[in-house]
Amino acid sequence: MRHQKKTVRLGRKAEHRKALLANQVCNLIEHQRIKTTLAKAKAVRPLAEKMITLGKNGSIHARRTAFSTLRHKDAVKKLFDEIAPRSTERNGGYTRIVRLGQRKSDSASMAFIEWVDAAVVVEEKPAEEKKTKRKDPEEKPKKETKREEPKAKEKESPAAEEPKKKRRWFSRKSGEAEK
Protein backbone atom coordinates (compact mmCIF):
# COMPACT_ATOMS: atom_id res chain seq x y z
CA MET A 1 0.00 0.00 0.00
CA ARG A 2 1.08 3.60 -0.60
CA HIS A 3 0.17 5.04 2.79
CA GLN A 4 2.02 8.27 3.62
CA LYS A 5 4.03 8.30 0.38
CA LYS A 6 3.12 11.73 -0.93
CA THR A 7 5.86 12.27 -3.52
CA VAL A 8 4.44 12.90 -6.98
CA ARG A 9 6.44 10.46 -9.07
CA LEU A 10 5.55 11.60 -12.62
CA GLY A 11 6.61 8.20 -13.99
CA ARG A 12 10.32 8.91 -13.46
CA LYS A 13 13.16 7.77 -11.22
CA ALA A 14 14.23 10.09 -8.39
CA GLU A 15 17.25 11.57 -10.19
CA HIS A 16 15.29 12.27 -13.35
CA ARG A 17 12.38 13.77 -11.39
CA LYS A 18 14.67 16.13 -9.43
CA ALA A 19 16.35 17.30 -12.64
CA LEU A 20 13.00 17.81 -14.36
CA LEU A 21 11.56 19.87 -11.51
CA ALA A 22 14.74 21.94 -11.17
CA ASN A 23 14.66 22.71 -14.91
CA GLN A 24 10.97 23.63 -14.74
CA VAL A 25 11.61 26.06 -11.85
CA CYS A 26 14.59 27.59 -13.70
CA ASN A 27 12.41 28.11 -16.77
CA LEU A 28 9.69 29.62 -14.60
CA ILE A 29 12.22 32.05 -13.13
CA GLU A 30 13.56 32.96 -16.57
CA HIS A 31 10.28 33.28 -18.49
CA GLN A 32 7.87 34.23 -15.64
CA ARG A 33 5.29 31.78 -17.06
CA ILE A 34 5.56 28.29 -18.52
CA LYS A 35 3.12 25.96 -20.23
CA THR A 36 3.27 22.36 -19.02
CA THR A 37 1.04 19.46 -18.05
CA LEU A 38 -1.18 19.92 -15.02
CA ALA A 39 0.57 17.12 -13.08
CA LYS A 40 4.00 18.70 -13.62
CA ALA A 41 2.67 22.15 -12.71
CA LYS A 42 1.30 20.79 -9.45
CA ALA A 43 4.65 19.11 -8.73
CA VAL A 44 6.64 22.28 -9.58
CA ARG A 45 4.58 24.57 -7.34
CA PRO A 46 5.98 23.48 -3.92
CA LEU A 47 9.58 23.63 -5.14
CA ALA A 48 9.08 27.09 -6.69
CA GLU A 49 7.49 28.38 -3.48
CA LYS A 50 10.43 27.03 -1.41
CA MET A 51 12.85 28.85 -3.71
CA ILE A 52 10.96 32.12 -3.19
CA THR A 53 11.10 31.61 0.57
CA LEU A 54 14.89 31.13 0.32
CA GLY A 55 15.09 34.24 -1.86
CA LYS A 56 13.21 36.30 0.72
CA ASN A 57 15.73 35.21 3.37
CA GLY A 58 18.58 36.46 1.16
CA SER A 59 21.48 35.02 3.20
CA ILE A 60 24.51 33.38 1.61
CA HIS A 61 23.41 30.04 3.04
CA ALA A 62 19.98 30.43 1.38
CA ARG A 63 21.69 31.30 -1.90
CA ARG A 64 23.84 28.17 -1.73
CA THR A 65 20.86 26.01 -0.84
CA ALA A 66 18.92 27.38 -3.83
CA PHE A 67 21.92 26.80 -6.09
CA SER A 68 22.25 23.18 -4.93
CA THR A 69 18.64 22.60 -5.95
CA LEU A 70 18.43 24.63 -9.19
CA ARG A 71 22.03 24.22 -10.48
CA HIS A 72 21.87 27.44 -12.58
CA LYS A 73 23.73 30.55 -11.42
CA ASP A 74 21.70 32.91 -13.61
CA ALA A 75 18.40 31.56 -12.31
CA VAL A 76 19.52 31.90 -8.68
CA LYS A 77 20.74 35.45 -9.30
CA LYS A 78 17.46 36.49 -10.93
CA LEU A 79 15.48 34.76 -8.18
CA PHE A 80 17.27 36.62 -5.38
CA ASP A 81 17.57 40.00 -7.16
CA GLU A 82 14.21 40.38 -8.96
CA ILE A 83 11.55 37.81 -8.12
CA ALA A 84 11.88 37.32 -4.35
CA PRO A 85 11.87 41.07 -3.47
CA ARG A 86 8.48 41.44 -5.22
CA SER A 87 7.00 38.89 -2.82
CA THR A 88 8.26 40.26 0.51
CA GLU A 89 4.75 41.20 1.67
CA ARG A 90 3.24 37.78 0.87
CA ASN A 91 3.29 34.88 3.29
CA GLY A 92 2.84 32.22 0.62
CA GLY A 93 0.94 31.55 -2.59
CA TYR A 94 3.59 32.96 -4.91
CA THR A 95 2.49 30.92 -7.94
CA ARG A 96 -0.74 30.49 -9.85
CA ILE A 97 -1.83 27.52 -11.98
CA VAL A 98 -4.20 28.30 -14.85
CA ARG A 99 -5.79 25.29 -16.53
CA LEU A 100 -5.84 25.34 -20.33
CA GLY A 101 -7.77 22.19 -21.26
CA GLN A 102 -6.69 19.08 -23.13
CA ARG A 103 -3.71 18.72 -25.45
CA LYS A 104 -4.78 17.45 -28.89
CA SER A 105 -2.19 14.73 -29.34
CA ASP A 106 -2.65 12.73 -26.15
CA SER A 107 -5.45 14.54 -24.25
CA ALA A 108 -3.13 15.47 -21.38
CA SER A 109 -4.44 18.28 -19.16
CA MET A 110 -2.36 21.39 -19.87
CA ALA A 111 -1.78 24.38 -17.61
CA PHE A 112 0.17 27.60 -17.22
CA ILE A 113 2.15 28.09 -14.04
CA GLU A 114 3.15 31.69 -13.39
CA TRP A 115 4.19 34.09 -10.65
CA VAL A 116 1.29 35.91 -9.01
CA ASP A 117 3.23 39.19 -8.81
CA ALA A 118 4.46 39.12 -12.42
CA ALA A 119 3.40 41.92 -14.76
CA VAL A 120 1.21 40.68 -17.64
CA VAL A 121 2.95 41.64 -20.88
CA VAL A 122 2.55 38.40 -22.83
CA GLU A 123 -1.11 38.97 -23.74
CA GLU A 124 -0.40 42.05 -25.91
CA LYS A 125 1.82 40.21 -28.42
CA PRO A 126 -0.90 37.95 -29.94
CA ALA A 127 -3.05 41.02 -30.70
CA GLU A 128 -0.21 42.51 -32.76
CA GLU A 129 0.29 39.26 -34.68
CA LYS A 130 -3.37 39.19 -35.69
CA LYS A 131 -3.04 42.67 -37.16
CA THR A 132 -0.11 41.59 -39.31
CA LYS A 133 -2.09 38.60 -40.56
CA ARG A 134 -4.80 40.95 -41.82
CA LYS A 135 -2.26 42.95 -43.82
CA ASP A 136 -0.89 39.87 -45.61
CA PRO A 137 -3.99 39.26 -47.80
CA GLU A 138 -3.77 42.85 -49.06
CA GLU A 139 -0.19 42.30 -50.18
CA LYS A 140 -0.96 39.06 -52.06
CA PRO A 141 -3.00 40.67 -54.88
CA LYS A 142 -0.05 42.96 -55.59
CA LYS A 143 2.18 39.92 -56.00
CA GLU A 144 -0.33 38.29 -58.36
CA THR A 145 -0.28 41.29 -60.69
CA LYS A 146 3.48 41.02 -60.87
CA ARG A 147 3.15 37.36 -61.84
CA GLU A 148 0.86 38.19 -64.76
CA GLU A 149 3.46 40.41 -66.43
CA PRO A 150 5.94 37.59 -67.12
CA LYS A 151 3.09 35.48 -68.55
CA ALA A 152 2.48 38.15 -71.18
CA LYS A 153 6.12 37.90 -72.21
CA GLU A 154 5.83 34.12 -72.41
CA LYS A 155 3.00 34.41 -74.96
CA GLU A 156 5.28 36.15 -77.42
CA SER A 157 7.80 33.31 -77.60
CA PRO A 158 6.48 29.89 -78.76
CA ALA A 159 9.24 28.03 -76.86
CA ALA A 160 7.96 29.44 -73.56
CA GLU A 161 4.46 27.92 -74.12
CA GLU A 162 5.72 24.31 -73.98
CA PRO A 163 6.80 24.39 -70.30
CA LYS A 164 3.54 26.17 -69.59
CA LYS A 165 1.57 23.16 -70.87
CA LYS A 166 3.68 20.78 -68.82
CA ARG A 167 2.95 22.72 -65.62
CA ARG A 168 -0.72 23.25 -66.32
CA TRP A 169 -1.83 21.22 -63.31
CA PHE A 170 -0.13 23.69 -60.92
CA SER A 171 -2.55 26.50 -61.62
CA ARG A 172 -5.67 25.62 -63.59
CA LYS A 173 -7.42 28.83 -62.60
CA SER A 174 -4.81 30.96 -64.33
CA GLY A 175 -5.05 28.72 -67.43
CA GLU A 176 -8.84 29.12 -67.58
CA ALA A 177 -8.59 32.88 -67.20
CA GLU A 178 -6.37 33.12 -70.29
CA LYS A 179 -8.91 31.25 -72.49
User: How far apart are alpha carbons 104 and 101 in whole angstroms?
Assistant: 9
Cα 107 off chain centre by = 18
pLDDT band at 48 (very low <50, low <70, confident <90, very high): very high
Instruction: Compute the Cα dihedral for 54, 17, 68, 117 and give only its sign.
Output: negative
Mean of pLDDT over the chain: 82
Helix, coil or strand: residue 111: strand
Strands 109-115 and 95-102: antiparallel
The helix/strand/coil state of 159 is helix
Q: Where are the domains of the chain?
A: 14-125, 146-179
Neighbours of 24 (CB within 10 A): 20
Q: Largest Cα–Cα distance of the chain, in whole Å?
A: 86
Q: How many CB atoms lie within 10 A of CB 35?
A: 14
What mean pLDDT is predicted for residues 51-67?
97
Taking the C-alpha atoms of residue 90 and residue 94, their distance in angstroms, rounded to an integer, is: 8
Fold category of 14-125 in CATH: 50s Ribosomal Protein L17; Chain: A, (3.90.1030)
Query: Residues near 137 by Cβ (< 8 Å), separated by ≥ 6?
Result: none
Given a cut of 90, whether residue 97 has pLDDT beyond it is yes
Strand ranges, E, within the chain: 33-37, 95-102, 109-115
* Listed range (51-60, 79-88, 108-117, 122-131) with the worst mean pLDDT: 122-131
pLDDT at 103 over 80: yes
